[in-house]
A and B are shown apart, each in its own frame.
Chain A
Amino acid sequence: MKANPDYLLEALHVVKVFGTLRANDDVTLRIKPGEIHAFLGENGAGKSTLVKMIYGALQPTSGEFRWKGERVDITNPAAARKLGIGMVFQHFSLFEALTVAENIALAMPGDFDLAALSKKIARVSKEYGLPLEPTAIVADLSVGERQRIEIVRCLLQEPRLLIMDEPTAVLTPQEADQLFVVLARLASEGCAVLYISHRLEEVKRLCHNATILRHGKIVANVDPIKETAGSLAKLMVGGDIHVVRHSRKTNAGKIRLRLNNLNLPADGPFSMPLKNISLDVKAGEVIAVAGVAGNGQSEFFDAISGERALARDDMIEIDGKPMGRHGVNQRRNAGAAFVPEERLGHGAAPGFTLTQNVVLTRHSSDPSLVKSGLLQKAGASTVSERVIKTYDVRKGKPDPEARSLSGGNLQKFVIGRELDRNPGILVVNQPTWGVDAGASATIRQAIIDLSRAGSAVLVISQDLDEIFEIADRIAVISRGELSETHPAGEISLQQIGLLMAGAHEKKEGTIHAAGA
């Protein structure tokens, strides 16, 4: 093959095998200078694997990379950075205990001079409109600020190719708009951007070219402007998308979950206190709580689930009963069910089998699992098999350990385990985070069906598409404060974005007026 200097980077027939899994199977991708190139695919399609190889963090099993037409071996990230490849990770590669300048210094070659570097950071961050304080400790910063560190870290190395892995997943719509301005400017300066996303609208808006990956193989290379979001989605999933059936409902029933001025102090230096949260969740409705990660969502979940006790019993009422000082099992016995964000290690114990994981959350509410302190293995297996069958949990052997399941299948199991109890109240944190489209649709449908059968459902989510798909009413959490709820049909994406940025924190009234 002749060198083709038209392209900045070429990945040619790249294969990457993990054990028996072909994560990338003969992948060929070509990126031109100055183009914003979308790289699309479902969770688990193999996008991150290819991108990590381009960044030198993984090595291909076979295939090759060419940089400006020359064959290159990218043996490690330092080599990638030397070529001019920068990367902004989805799960940031930052050091929480270190300062902004120290974090950036770790990615810079050459001499170690924090003072000089701080000046450069100030200059570049001003130039691109990405304000940063070099001496701030990362642990104290918001998600948006953390992403700015990652971007500035790349920009300081004057990259020719910038890889961005799901950059807008953690941003407010307004922050995302600002990011698009930066990316467009970089592209106009000749820097190529490899843009990984599953938000198809933003791909259509931003990108010049799109390559689509499915099950490790390239299935298409298209011009996103000529496609619709629907046609792109079809290419990603490889078939028709399961549409969630949803009849908007306004005649909600009685209040089943009530939060009265819920307050919770911060638990350590890196935790968010909850301030005066009041909310009613009624029978038959789904309320979604939107917000940028790290604004108190996990504290909010812990407070409702009872993993952290509250100061007063009346801060939480379940079906009219005060439960604020009651533990998680008492709340379960009162009819509530909970699904946390982290499936492995929180919702399920990784080294335990699915049957044992049934016992984990149902040992006090389900008498068929434990009798006078003794585990009833038969009872647990019955439940486990029923959940596996009803929610189509796919697995390699009859009763595998939780850690061996894929993210989507484990999530179906963890949610199914609670739905199987037919709970009166369901609280779910990030129900489809990192889950493929098929499993997402199953989970969302199950959540809606539960509410329509008379249960109250509270969903905490960062995914605005998901929120609009399933919610009847929407509230927004920001810095531990919860906004008023708004009917899903009456609030726009932009209004939610303003709330996510904290517009309601002190001047609740103005937004309310804007929303009305």
Chain B
Amino acid sequence: MRLVLEKRAERSRRMTVLSPVIAIALTLITGAIVFTFMGLDPLEALYVYFLDPVKYFWTRNPDDFWSLEQLAVKAAPLALIGAGLSVSYLANVWNIGAEGQLTAGAVAGGAIPVFFPEWQSPLTLVAMLLMGAAGGMAWSAIPAFLKNRFNASEILTSLMLVYVVQLILDWLVRGPWRDPAGHNFPQTVPFTGWQTLPVFGDSTIHLGVLFAVVAAIALAFLMGSTLKGFEIRVLGTAPRAGRFAGFSREGAVWFCFLLSGGLAGLAGIGEVMNTVGQLQPSISPGYGFTAIIVAFLGRLNPVGALVAAVVLAISYLGGEAAQVTLGVSDKIARVFQGILLFYILACDTLILYRVKLLSRATVELRA
């Protein structure tokens, strides 16, 4: 039997929508198989991991893994970064160093409470957020400059810079920025008052969630309705046609890196201003990398990324739930995320091609 691709004349709209759904379904099936191999009842495990908690969706108890609020707080940084990466990847600009830009944003914004621990005013909040975005942008400007000036692969440079900035953060919190009153723990002073993100009412939903929603809608509008968005999409799929249209490849590289870097920086400062509450050696469970999956699952559409971020947030929370209830490692979340990305990419083939299985009795998988 042989698998053969037949090119479609046009992209299939139906498959553009269906492919992530198929990918999620396939991930669940794979999950069941994995759980079986781990000696668990696959249906029960899937239930605990993905479904059981749904009944707590509307609970207000923050101790529940699955409260809607927890989900929103987890999804916010993913959505924020994923929206920026969607725009970048559409432009064929491969920023895979969002984790580093997130860290750079946290460091830049976190410098304010470190140096001015007493400063408490609404301006503190604004200054920290701006510094966070600026830090992410500054860090992302390095691969953008190296790409445009020296044609150095942005994939490799942006990734290398993740390691560099994580080591810088590690040095800062163990060295010059360490909280003198912190019993020698590698962490800065705790952030308080205006140095943390305000929350809505008495919930745990903070300003970062609003940022994520606004960013998604704004970027979807940018990509769908403006000449700038058109420019980015053309340069991404047909660079020669883009140059013929008078669009600048260099400009797009700058735009995409600064945008995605800025949003990652914002996500980073948001994390340390809320969930983490101070700078410490590890401030993110790999949001910058998981956001790559968010971008693809969301069809490289910023609003799609918002939805995808919720799915990925569930995979994080499900991992925690599974660890408690089933006794499996929460590292399984990373595996499911990786498998999910594989399935999305495989299903995306269906958008441009018909897949046919040729055998003696020719089976056709028409879509």
Interface residues of A (CB under 8 A from B): 19, 305-307, 327-329, 332, 338, 340, 342, 345-352, 356, 359-361, 363-364, 370, 373-375, 396, 400-401, 403-404
Contacts and interface: CB of A to CB of B under 8 A. Distances in A.
Contacts of A364: 246
B109 to A, nearest CB: 30
A465 B264 CA distance: 59
B57 interface: no
Interface stretch (B37-45, B174-182, B234-242, B255-263): B234-242
B67 to A, nearest CB: 40
16 contacts: A327-B246, A328-B244, A332-B246, A338-B244, A346-B238, A346-B240, A349-B241, A351-B238, A359-B227, A360-B245, A363-B227, A364-B246, A373-B226, A373-B228, A374-B225, A404-B9
A406 to B, nearest CB: 11
Contacts of A374: 225-227
A361 B226 contact: no
A363 B9 CA distance: 26
Contacts of A338: 244
Nearest to B241: A349
Contacts of A347: 241, 244
B9 A396 contact: yes
B259 to A, nearest CB: 16
A374 B228 CA distance: 8
B228 A359 contact: no
B35 interface: no
B243 interface: yes
Contacts of B202: none
A471 B242 CA distance: 31
Interface in B1-45: 6, 9-11
Contacts of B289: none
B10 A401 contact: yes
B245 A363 contact: yes
B11 to A, nearest CB: 7
Contact of B241 (A345, A375, A400, A401): A345
Contacts of A19: 6
A34 B74 CA distance: 77
Given A351-B11, A396-B9, A370 B238 contact: no
A359 B234 CA distance: 11
Contact of A329 (B233, B234, B246): B246
Nearest to B245: A360
Q: Please give me the 6 A-B residue pairs with the lowest Cβ-Cβ distance, nearest first.
A: A329-B246, A349-B238, A404-B9, A349-B241, A328-B246, A346-B240
A361 B244 contact: yes
Interface residues of B, number: 20
Contacts of A340: 244
A214 B116 CA distance: 82
Contacts of B227: 359, 363, 370, 373-375
B230 interface: yes
Contact of A360 (B10, B226, B228, B244): B244
Contacts of B242: 349
Contacts of A306: 246
Contacts of A351: 11, 237-238
A431 B349 CA distance: 34
A400 B225 CA distance: 19
Nearest to B240: A346
Contacts of B9: 396, 400-401, 403-404
Contacts of A363: 227, 230, 245
B230 A307 contact: no
Contact of B237 (A305, A329, A349): A349
A375 B244 contact: no
B226 A307 contact: no
A340 B245 CA distance: 12
Interface in B35-79: none
Nearest to A346: B240
Nearest to B233: A352
Nearest to B229: A375
Interface centre among B242, B244, B245 (most CB of A within 10 A): B244
A375 B10 contact: no
A306 B243 CA distance: 10
Interface string B338-359: 0000000000000000000000
B225 to A, nearest CB: 6
Contact of B11 (A307, A332, A360, A401): A401
Given A375-B225, A400-B10, A350 B237 contact: yes
Given A349-B242, A373-B226, 15 more contacts: A19-B6, A329-B245, A338-B244, A340-B244, A342-B240, A345-B241, A346-B244, A349-B237, A351-B237, A360-B241, A363-B227, A364-B246, A375-B226, A400-B9, A401-B9
B10 A403 contact: yes
Given A359-B230, A373-B228, A305 B244 contact: yes
Contacts of B244: 305, 307, 328, 338, 340, 346-347, 360-361
A465 to B, nearest CB: 28
A400 B291 CA distance: 33
Interface centre among B227, B228, B233, B242 (most CB of A within 10 A): B227
A413 to B, nearest CB: 14
